[in-house]
Amino acid sequence: MKAIDQSHGKLFMDPDPDHARKFFRKKNRKKMNKVMDLGQAIETFVLDGEYLAIGGFGSNRTPIAACHEIVRQGRKGMGFLGHTSTHDMQVLSAGEVYDRIDISYGVGLEARGLSRCSRAYLESGKVMVTEWTNYALTARLKAASMGIPFMPARTMLGTDTFKKSAAIQAICPFTNTTLALVPALYPDVAVIHVHEADIYGNARFKGIAVADIELAHASKRLIITTERLIRHDEISRDPSMTQIPFLLVDAVCEVPYGAYPGGMPGEYFSDEDHLTDWLDAEKNDETFNAFIKKEIFGCRNHEDYLNLHGGRERMAALRAEECLLHKEFYREDV
Amino acid sequence: MKAIDQSHGKLFMDPDPDHARKFFRKKNRKKMNKVMDLGQAIETFVLDGEYLAIGGFGSNRTPIAACHEIVRQGRKGMGFLGHTSTHDMQVLSAGEVYDRIDISYGVGLEARGLSRCSRAYLESGKVMVTEWTNYALTARLKAASMGIPFMPARTMLGTDTFKKSAAIQAICPFTNTTLALVPALYPDVAVIHVHEADIYGNARFKGIAVADIELAHASKRLIITTERLIRHDEISRDPSMTQIPFLLVDAVCEVPYGAYPGGMPGEYFSDEDHLTDWLDAEKNDETFNAFIKKEIFGCRNHEDYLNLHGGRERMAALRAEECLLHKEFYREDV
Amino acid sequence: MKTYNHMEMMIIAAARELENGSTAAVGTGAPCAAAMLAQKTHAPDLIILFEAGGISPRLVDMPISVGDSRTFHQASKAGTMGDVMDACARGTVDYTFLGGAQIDRYGNLNSTMIGRDHKKPKVRFPGSGGANDFASLCWRTMVMTVQDKRRFVEKLDFITTPGWLDGGNSREQSGLPRGTGPYRIITHMAVMDFEPVSKRMRVISLHPGYSFDDVQEECGFELLRSEIILDTPKPGVSELEILRKEVDPRGYLIGR
Amino acid sequence: MKTYNHMEMMIIAAARELENGSTAAVGTGAPCAAAMLAQKTHAPDLIILFEAGGISPRLVDMPISVGDSRTFHQASKAGTMGDVMDACARGTVDYTFLGGAQIDRYGNLNSTMIGRDHKKPKVRFPGSGGANDFASLCWRTMVMTVQDKRRFVEKLDFITTPGWLDGGNSREQSGLPRGTGPYRIITHMAVMDFEPVSKRMRVISLHPGYSFDDVQEECGFELLRSEIILDTPKPGVSELEILRKEVDPRGYLIGR
């Protein structure tokens, strides 16, 4: 397979499946109790200089509690997977946690506007940026999850997105189709937030999966944060429902409202007022520093953060907002 | 991408994604009532000379009722996907429905023994055979489902299985890994048996998925046979449970016990006595002809066939067998 | 005096382009509003897909994210990003609706950056997201954007998302799936398509109150004229009513 | 007189090779029995995978198919064939257990056909199924088969599943994942491994009552001898009891 066109973006991670296999051979796959405190999980498995990926999509089912903890613990020099990363990227940019990024979508908070902080950080020249598309990044994770060095795709062709990626163009030997080959991506560590997990790490969630199943399989280490722990026999009673099996998981942390101020399907809607506060605070550096000091460094943990924003009462309101939207879940006659 | 080693097996189906796209562009994707009689579905969508794939795995969740109907209607000259095909292949071989096969596992009925009929048919020289592995066929379907012309794999290398396949060996331009590239496979038609489907074709099943999700996406036409129809609002109430969305589906046929004499997870176990009858009947050509005449051609439909084998009473016993195995589904104290 | 605003005109013109029974991959904002309006008017069987995994939802409320709960509310399937992108790649998605910071005469889009140096951009935008994928893989790409010469530029600072690339048959030669490409550009002034051979943007319909010159004035490159330039029918009473009362009752987009 | 039969010896010898806490991809029949026995004796934390999608089931009864309900009974996940094969490809599966109609000195297996002409074989067997995949992708391949010179042959009619291919470093050169390959061959007479440089099969342990010559007699190629050939400990009372009462109480395999 000969490259007919080469891109110029930096390839941050080694796509060689034999190198990854060496790691996975030694990885502990025991069905053991992996429950720990979020602080401990981040301390143990999220390391300076390594490559981090965050599950969910934008502000949906995104482990924001873990992002705060990563900033709070002062991680630096990480690689980051900006695979439609919105508020999570905003938090990690505030902490200047990463200095290189594979990006498909970042900076923005979708319909809410742009994060001045994320934007300024990428404009500063402090961050090495390699461009991709949402599908290209999904395909890179899929290749890793399948233990192959690349995935062929029909996207990015002809654009500057391709030129600033680390993909290779090649011709299909069966059909002569021109393809973009995207290299496998094995993140060092990923954090994924779910609805339910047992103590071993068997995890399941409701609603769209985005690329979290691929991510769970591709990542060398995996932290699961979960709205609630459930008994293992709940899992084993209906194993068709398990999306992430325990073999992949290194830590299980019970973090209720772990996606707040983002939303969790069927549980609670995003706190749009507080997300607006974030965007507003960024308009002025001084304000924003004070804001981060209060919101992240001023909190010992996610519970503190929730209490800072109305605690149980506010959460109840967000639950109602989500559930009223989904009133058909509860009433048959609509 | 240059082929460094070429196999000698015949490639039966065009892997070109642009040709497949032309078909899919015109395919009717409307959310309309697709319920029809199984006979009508087979007549409309399973055509002489085309390429057929059957869902499930071996004798599990396999649309045997549809296989009988295909034989009963006298389909000939088809291509067939022998992707761990056991009793379904036995039925289709009895009807000499296919004359070319992509095979990973066939002929055998796993621990039950070998089908003399399937075996003799492949030994007769009447069938063109291309070899693959289970994973290679899954990967071929996955490539088609992703609209790419091939999938890289690290299997089949160095063996006669590769030589008699239609794969190509090539070198990865990122890592220099030697890969087997397996071409996309778009079957003309597939039949998949599920637990529940609505009238539009939104379908879901319990237990292992084997390669049915890839198959559903890769196939140009798709017939769903279902243990029971459910209301659409059952689907839309929890869309996380849908495995096959209506867009892919051409026909929905309600066929209770549609996998019989195979099994259906959580519903009924396989009828091992009757499967043994099949294997025994094959030992003598004359006996087998009479057997097929009675079992397939003597029945107007699957209900006749079920009645021939004990009807409701026998089905109740098979339900009990399956459910006693899974008694933990019903009792918490085990 | 006009009884509707720019955004309303744009959303209504866009909605009209969507055929009943077709499939459309959309994002949040105006494209989503157009799809919702189409569903509630002439295209009740329009099938909507969201890139994060929502397949054929019932849209009761405008999503704020292409992955929020509304994007798979009473859907047929809450799937994966791969599911939706694969559907586009297999050729089963007819339309996509995109936006962008800059657009050129061939319908190429920039949503990545302003400036010369990718390492240190003057302005950084979000990047492709799924836009490049959709425009590569769906059959017909439609773009909704305000007619503004700072957006319609001679040369993009960065080609994030492919249109007809360098025009002519350059798109097909690039390896992008055959038969795909930009189809309509919908602004608050006009509807444009692309001349079949050169693939240059051309005006095919003018919205009430705008002339070709008005459009050209707000375009940084030379526009072609279709042989016959139609008058866009002005927003109907019921289109406006449904848009205001059912699609965007809180006025997030149409600002009422 | 022996108080156990061939199949029992084979299953027990195989079970002993499985480390606690490791992962094993198995099929039906003897390999599955060995895995179940290991779980019930020294390896309670052995994680079993079935190629049709069953991940870490609790095996209460012997499956008759690698896809029947028993293969995902109280499992951690009832997944897809892709899930299981991907796990092997990523390097997370330690062991696999295979069988075959023929085996050669390098541990290559034939389960496809007997004869010269692939177009018209003398005898057609099922083919690879997942065997080639498992032997390609899992770290250590183990084979269980009766010691029989019609099975242990000089040259296979068809290489379905890779062992050490032509010996030496030919396997690694083929592109198969580094560090993988045949590990143990377990028959009713002996346990064999492969000499590290030539990759030829060699006897490392003899079951009670058999000599090296007995094994060589039932082998169509020349076997190597390990420097020290161990005596396989004879089946323990509790191994036999668990095998007979809990693993295969109906005697499907052990025929009691």
D217/chain A closest Cα distance in angstroms: 38
- What pLDDT score does B313 carry? 96
Instruction: Please state the separation of Cα A285 from the chain's center in Å.
Output: 26
Q: What chain C residue is nearest to A267 in terms of C-alpha separation?
A: C69
Place of tokens 């949402």: A134
Half-sphere exposure of B68 (CA within 13 A, CB side): 27
- What pLDDT score does A74 carry? 98
Residues of C within 8 A of B236 (CB-CB) are 58, 74-76
| Residue type (1 letter), A91 | V
Q: Is the pLDDT of residue B3 over 90?
A: no
**pLDDT digits over D130-175, tens only?**
999 999 999 999 999 999 999 999 999 999 999 999 999 999 999 9
Place of tokens 């209720």: A256
**Confidence class for position A3, pLDDT limits 50, 70, 90:** confident
Average pLDDT over residues B42-62: 97
C182 - beta bridge partners? C141
Concatenating the DSSP letter of every residue in B235-262 gives HHH-GGG-SB-GGG-SEEEE-TTTTTTS
Q: Using alpha carbons only, how large is chain A's radius of gyration in Å?
A: 20
Q: Using alpha carbons only, how large is chain C's radius of gyration in Å?
A: 17
Sort residue C165 into left (φ over 0), alpha (ψ -120 to 50) or beta: left
Say if residues A73 and A97 touch (Cβ distance below 8 Å): no
Identify from C39, C76, C133 which residue to disrupt to test chain B contact, counting B C-beta atoms within 10 A and taking the largest count: C76
Interchain proximity C133–A157, CB inside 8 Å: no
- What pLDDT score does B87 carry? 97
C233 in contact with A at a CB cutoff of 8 Å? Answer: no
CA distance D180 to A25: 11
CA distance A147 to A218: 8
Q: Which domain holds residue A60?
A: 2-329
Which residues of C are identified as catalytic? 51
Interchain proximity A325–C69, CB inside 8 Å: yes
Helix (H, G, I), strand (E, B) or coil at C205: strand
In the structure, do chain B and chain C come into contact, i.e. share 3 or more CB pairs under 8 Å? yes
Say if residues B170 and B179 touch (Cβ distance below 8 Å): yes
Helix (H, G, I), strand (E, B) or coil at A67: helix
Tokens encoding D94: 């330690």
Helix (H, G, I), strand (E, B) or coil at A61: coil
Say if residues A132 and A165 touch (Cβ distance below 8 Å): yes
Instruction: Please state the separation of Cα A120 from the chain's center in Å.
Output: 21
CA distance B232 to A66: 38
**Cα end-to-end span (Å), chain D:** 17
Average pLDDT over residues C47-63: 93
| Residue type (1 letter), C13 | A
D161 in contact with B at a CB cutoff of 8 Å? Answer: yes
CA nearest neighbour of C58 among A325, B23, B181: A325
Task: Name the residue among C56, C87, C139 with its Cβ closest to that of B25.
Answer: C139
Q: Is the pLDDT of residue B1 over 80?
A: no
Interchain proximity D55–A147, CB inside 8 Å: no
Residues of A within 8 A of B145 (CB-CB) are none
**pLDDT digits over A104-141, tens only?**
999 999 889 999 999 999 999 999 999 999 999 999 99
**pLDDT digits over C189-246, tens only?**
999 999 999 999 999 999 999 999 999 999 999 999 999 999 999 999 999 999 999 9
Q: What chain B residue is nearest to D131 in terms of C-alpha separation?
A: B133
Positive/negative CA dihedral, B91, B93, B95, B100 = positive
Instruction: Please state the separation of Cα A143 from the chain's center in Å.
Output: 18
CA nearest neighbour of A60 among B292, B138, C81, B157: C81
Say if residues A195 and A205 touch (Cβ distance below 8 Å): yes
A131 in contact with C at a CB cutoff of 8 Å? Answer: yes
- What pLDDT score does A333 carry? 41
Average pLDDT over residues A63-79: 98
Q: What chain C residue is nearest to A118 in terms of C-alpha separation?
A: C124
CA distance D175 to A250: 31
Q: What chain C residue is nearest to A104 in terms of C-alpha separation?
A: C129
Beta-carbon neighbour count of residue C169 at 10 Å? Answer: 12
CA nearest neighbour of A238 among B235, D55, B206, D79: B206
DSSP strands (E only) in A173-275 = 178-183, 189-197, 203-204, 221-229, 251-254
**pLDDT digits over C73-117, tens only?**
999 999 999 999 999 999 999 999 998 899 999 999 999 999 999
Distances (CA, A) of B231 to B33, B195, B201, B228, C168: 12, 13, 11, 10, 50
CA distance B27 to B36: 18
CA nearest neighbour of A143 among B210, B179, B6, B134: B179
The low-confidence residues of chain D, meaning pLDDT below 70, are 1, 256
Interchain proximity D175–B179, CB inside 8 Å: yes
Distances (CA, A) of B212 to A156, B137, B190, B191, B241: 29, 12, 10, 10, 15
Place of tokens 């705008």: C210
**Confidence class for position B279, pLDDT limits 50, 70, 90:** very high
- What pLDDT score does A326 carry? 53
**pLDDT digits over B122-176, tens only?**
999 999 999 999 999 999 999 999 999 999 999 999 999 999 999 999 999 999 9
Average pLDDT over residues C35-54: 96
Q: How many structural domains compose chain A?
A: 1
Contact map slice: D 55-94 vs B, CB within 8 A: 60-61, 63-74, 78-82, 85, 89
Q: Is the pLDDT of residue B324 over 90?
A: no
Which CATH number do you get for residue B230? Answer: 3.40.1080.10
Task: Name the residue among B128, B210, B326 with its Cβ closest to that of D73.
Answer: B326
B235 in contact with A at a CB cutoff of 8 Å? Answer: no
**pLDDT digits over B176-192, tens only?**
999 999 999 999 999 99
Positive/negative CA dihedral, D174, D176, D180, D182 = negative
CA distance A165 to A160: 8
Q: Is the pLDDT of residue B326 over 70?
A: no
Q: Using alpha carbons only, how large is chain D's radius of gyration in Å?
A: 17
| Residue type (1 letter), A96 | E
Average pLDDT over residues B244-263: 98
Place of tokens 């350059």: C170
Say if residues D70 and D53 touch (Cβ distance below 8 Å): no
> Percentage of residues in chain A with pLDDT exceeding 70?
96
In the structure, do chain C and chain D come into contact, i.e. share 3 or more CB pairs under 8 Å? no
- What pLDDT score does C256 carry? 65
In a domain, B197, yes or no: yes
Q: Is the pLDDT of residue B334 over 80?
A: no
Instruction: Please state the separation of Cα A283 from the chain's center in Å.
Output: 25
Say if residues B72 and B273 touch (Cβ distance below 8 Å): no
- What pLDDT score does C6 carry? 94
Contact map slice: B 237-256 vs C, CB within 8 A: 237, 239-240, 242-243, 245-247
- What pLDDT score does D255 carry? 87
**pLDDT digits over A306-332, tens only?**
999 999 999 999 999 998 765 444 444
Interchain proximity A24–D178, CB inside 8 Å: no
CB burial string A17-55: b at 16+ within 10 A, e below: bbebbeebbeeebebeebbbebeebbeebbbeebbbbbb
Say if residues B69 and B42 touch (Cβ distance below 8 Å): yes
Half-sphere exposure of B78 (CA within 13 A, CB side): 29
In a domain, B334, yes or no: no
Q: What chain D residue is nearest to A32 in terms of C-alpha separation?
A: D45
Reported as type and span, the H/E element at residue B145 is helix B134-145
Positive/negative CA dihedral, B224, B227, B231, B235 = negative
Q: Catalytic annotation on D222?
A: no
B242/chain C closest Cα distance in angstroms: 5
Residues of B within 8 A of C74 (CB-CB) are 233, 236-237, 239
The CATH architecture of the domain made up of C6-247 is 3-Layer(aba) Sandwich (3.40)
- What pLDDT score does D35 carry? 95
Instruction: Please state the separation of Cα B302 from the chain's center in Å.
Output: 17
Reported as type and span, the H/E element at residue A233 is helix A232-237
Of A199-213, B251-265, C60-74, D122-136, the one with minimum mean pLDDT is: C60-74
Average pLDDT over residues A166-177: 97
In a domain, A334, yes or no: no
Residues of C within 8 A of A180 (CB-CB) are 175
- What pLDDT score does C1 carry? 56
**Confidence class for position C252, pLDDT limits 50, 70, 90:** confident
Average pLDDT over residues B57-75: 97
Chains within contact range of chain A (3+ C-beta pairs < 8 Å) = B, C, D
Beta-carbon neighbour count of residue B38 at 10 Å? Answer: 23
- What pLDDT score does A101 carry? 98
Active-site entry in D51, D154, D217, D222: D51
**pLDDT digits over A21-62, tens only?**
999 999 999 999 999 999 999 999 999 999 999 999 989 999
Interchain proximity C53–A142, CB inside 8 Å: no
Concatenating the DSSP letter of every residue in B36-80 gives --HHHHHHHH--TTSEEEE-SBTTBS--HHHHHHHHHTT--SEEE
ipTM for this prediction: 0.97
CA nearest neighbour of B112 among B229, B272, B306, B292: B272
SS3 track for chain D: CCCCCHHHHHHHHHHHCCCCCCEEEECCCHHHHHHHHHHHCCCCCCEEEECCCEECCCCCCCCCCCCCHHHHCCCCEECEHHHHHHHHHHCCCCEEEECCCEECCCCCEECCEECCCCCCCCEECCCCCCHHHHHHHCCEEEEECCCCCCCECCCCCCCCECCCCCCCCHHHHCCCCCCCEEEEEECCCEEEEECCCCCCEEEEEECCCCCHHHHHHCCCCCCEEEEEEEECCCCCHHHHHHHHHHHCCCCCCCCC
- What pLDDT score does D250 carry? 86
**pLDDT digits over C133-143, tens only?**
999 999 999 99
3-state helix, strand, coil in chain C (%, to 5): 25, 20, 55
Average pLDDT over residues B55-66: 96
Q: Is the pLDDT of residue C176 over 70?
A: yes
- What pLDDT score does D61 carry? 82
Beta-carbon neighbour count of residue D231 at 10 Å? Answer: 10
Task: Name the residue among C54, C108, C129 with its Cβ closest to that of A105.
Answer: C129
DSSP annotation of A83: S
Residues of D within 8 A of B82 (CB-CB) are 127
**pLDDT digits over A263-281, tens only?**
999 999 999 999 999 999 9
A283 in contact with C at a CB cutoff of 8 Å? Answer: no
Q: Going by C-beta distance under 8 Å and a sequence separation of 6 or more, which residues neighbour residue D211? A: none
Interchain proximity A179–B148, CB inside 8 Å: yes
Average pLDDT over residues B68-89: 97
Q: Is the pLDDT of residue B325 over 90?
A: no
Residue count of chain B: 334
